Chain A
Amino acid sequence: MFESTSHEHNLLARASLDQCVKCTICETQCPVMAVTPAFSGPKFVGPQAERYRHGESVDHSLDYCSSCGTCTLVCPQGVKIAELNSVARAAMKKDHMPLRDQLISRTIMMGAVMRPVAPIANAVLANGAARWMIEKVVGVHRKAAMPTAHTRTFASWWKKHTPAQSATAGKVVFFHGCAGQYFEVETSIKAVEVLEHLGYEVVVPPQGCCGLPLQSNGIFDTARGYVKTLAERLNIADDVPIITAAGSCAGMLKHEAHEIMGVDDPAVLRVGGRTREISEFLLDLADRGKLPLDFSPINLEVVYHVPCQVKGQGMGKPALELLRLIPGLTVVDSDATCCGIAGTYGLKKEKYDVGQAVGKPLFDKVRDVNPKLAVCDTETCRWQIAAATGAKVVHPVWLLHQAYGLS
């Protein structure tokens, strides 16, 4: 496959275009189309408009697609609708990429800049006047959810960490992702502690960004470099599973690098085939009768929301099934299509209202079921739900960690 953003080279997705039978299932499920007429819908800008694209965009409402991937997921004919649209958008934005999109897609840079001055960074992001300035100058909506910076990184914890018990179950590589390094440090620590509790020897090779935020903003060239470098670092041996608590980054390694950006790099494909979101990995153990189920009860009712990029991996809702094994815990499936953040989409000042409208049914359900705590697998979705509802939103591994008596 060609690594290009030109439409002629978008072979994988284009090959699926003729399979569209115009059934409109994608349009009935698109969360953006449901809340704004600004987006003319996945079928229209996807398989239909694609026929008229010869290096030039024919429908600029494409920019309102959030890349949640729901259209591809629900298509019964296998049309790669979201992938077509992601490539078309990258081509459309190529020569005039907004500075804002350049900035917000560099998670490591944000984390590295914010960490040494975490209290100041957090104060600035909580300051209304500062946020107004940021909205005017950069284009990030003043109310959009921002990560909380920490002075401690996962790497600094890992350096001083020794496992509580010796390993008996074999080796796994832990892929923490950028957010798991800088912003969601606690989630990474709990994931490692659960894996070690289950007897795994956890290995953490040095690692960088998977390139997903760049990819979803259409900055493909840089993103391809990122994902290849990451794959080389994670690819320590052919038989070692790669476990992550960063569900959307797992999707990047498993299929998006290949299907959206045309990456055919052998290390990326090999690493993608071995990558497991931690709930997926643990549920597979449970299904084979190999997961200890000696959970302490957690007497709670919580909403669980599966992120679009976890759903897009076509494995159902492993965390939902897994959490239902914890006694006392009532897990309510959000049954919501999308939380509205879609990576960085809902941060943008012109899309913030769309994102909030997309997420409204989910927010209402969280407020209704348990306004204090909700569960979701990916970082930006957690930040979005937390900002909208005031609930604390945690990765499923937090509850497993507690149920195993580790917290």
Chain B
Amino acid sequence: MTDTIIVGAGLSGLSAAIRLAQAGAKVTLFTFGLGGIQLGQGTIDVLGYSLAGSRPTPADTAITDPFAAMSQHLTGHPGHPYATVPLASIRDSVDWLAALVPDLLTPGDGVNHMVPTALGGLRPTYLIQPSMTWSNPSSIAVVSPRQIKDFYPRLAAANLTKTAHVDAHGYHIDLPARPGEVDSSPVAYATALDRSDFARRFVELVANAIADEEVIGLPAILGLHPDTAESIARALGRPVVEFLLPPPSVPGMRLNVALTQRAKDLGVRVVIGSKVTGFTSAGAKVTGVVVAQAGRDQTYPCDHVVYAPGGFESGALTMDSYGGVRETLFDLPVVGATAEDLITGDYWADQRLFACGVAVDSAMTPLDVLGQPIYTNLHAVGGLLAGAVRWTEKSGDGIAITSAVRAADAIVSPGVTPTTNERTR
């Protein structure tokens, strides 16, 4: 008999699993495929923009202090997931996560970092990996192997000159990740750079390619091993900053591996490859989940469920051809789905479809249309929650971690969950 079943292995599922296991709970985590952390960038966003209008925003509108800006942001965004929790718990939760992987994430100091993107923009985020430190240099050499997919150092440098007012130059080196490859993936490079012979060759070519710029910008391929980036920087003798690439994200893989390992070390049973397709219940309690395993359906009994499946991207939320939005496992009511213009033709406009989701109370218990808990031992966390368009705010990671911590704490210590500071549902 397992105490708690987690559905999902993204940031919220793993956070909940770790938090519960730390408190001594028996945890089984089911995930259909690998979790989504490596599709992110290995950073932790809390709140990057508080968009008043609906246009893309230049770097100078980025939020510096996300915790100070939170209160005002929530006033303008009723029903936001952050509004269901005490504001102090957001920073506590994110700090707790950072401390789980001290070799990988720099501790938060209350303010956002700016990190360079593949296109040479700067975007705000709260926790970074040490290799992503942007020190506002006066000059930067952006260098990349010609053979890598999806990174163009001259484009990035030219844009950085405009976005960050830095003297930026782009350079190519010729170094396939493996002999004969003309379009190596970031992962192939990261694996190669984890080997000291390849890393030496890489350092040599980079050093020869550049002038006397203050800082060296490299694509985020500096090893799957957390120490590789630092040893490359040491060998180059200048500060190095990783530019975040489209997936597959090497820094995201570092974070996924570190957190998954942490969960396993704490005794979490991780079951990958089977979809949770149903559940059993008695009254207002979920008594088990049904898992579609090879050859048959298997029911796993449980005392609690943390439901961390993600939103539309994972299929946990779907929209049918009539525009009806549904949650697919527990058939929980979806908030915000009846609004007009859920998607508009203007790409930059506020796409409200992606704020659709499940409404919860302060223990992350899903609520029905009358605001009453549906199943008292079911907790919904992460991307499934209603009320935020995460990518425009840069808030998804903080929501995932904070909601997971709240759910785990409510399971471990029922009844002591503080009331919400702002009941908006």
Contacts and interface: CB of A to CB of B under 8 A. Distances in A.
Answer yes or no: do A and B interact.
Answer: yes
Interface string A316-352: 1000010000000000010100000000000000000
A315 B298 CA distance: 9
A75 B313 CA distance: 13
A241 B32 CA distance: 26
Interface in B149-186: 178-181, 185
Contacts of A21: 313
Contact of A25 (B34, B179, B180, B294): B34
Contacts of B185: 24, 27
Given A34-B191, A74-B34, A27 B248 contact: yes
A316 B271 contact: yes
Contacts of A311: 272-273
Interface in A10-60: 21, 23-25, 27-29, 34, 37
B294 A76 contact: no
Contacts of B187: 27-28, 34
Nearest to A41: B185
A272 interface: yes
A77 interface: yes
Contact of A273 (B2, B36, B291, B295): B295
A28 B100 CA distance: 24
Given A27-B187, A316-B271, A316-B272, A77 B295 contact: no
B355 to A, nearest CB: 21
Interface stretch (A109-117, A194-202, A249-257): A249-257
Nearest to A284: B298
- Chain A contact patch, size range: 35 or more
A312 B273 CA distance: 7
Contacts of A288: 1
B315 A255 contact: no
Q: Is the interface of B mostly helix, strand, loop or mixed?
A: mixed
A240 to B, nearest CB: 15
Contacts of B195: none
Nearest to A324: B267
A75 B33 contact: yes
A251 B293 CA distance: 11
Contact of A76 (B2, B28, B33, B291): B33
Given A287-B2, A316-B270, A24 B34 contact: no
Contact of A29 (B34, B191, B293): B34
A314 interface: yes
Contact of B33 (A74, A254, A333): A74
Interface in A53-110: 72-78
A313 interface: yes
B294 A251 contact: yes
Most chain A CB inside 10 Å of its own CB: which residue of B1, B35, B191, B248: B248
Most chain A CB inside 10 Å of its own CB: which residue of B38, B296, B314: B296
Interface of A: 21, 23-25, 27-29, 34, 37, 72-78, 251, 253-255, 269, 272-275, 287-289, 311-316, 321, 333, 335
10 contacts: A24-B185, A34-B187, A76-B314, A78-B32, A254-B296, A287-B1, A312-B273, A313-B293, A315-B293, A316-B271
Ranked nearest first, the 6 interchain pairs of A and B with the lowest CB-CB distance are: A76-B33, A314-B274, A254-B295, A316-B271, A314-B273, A255-B294
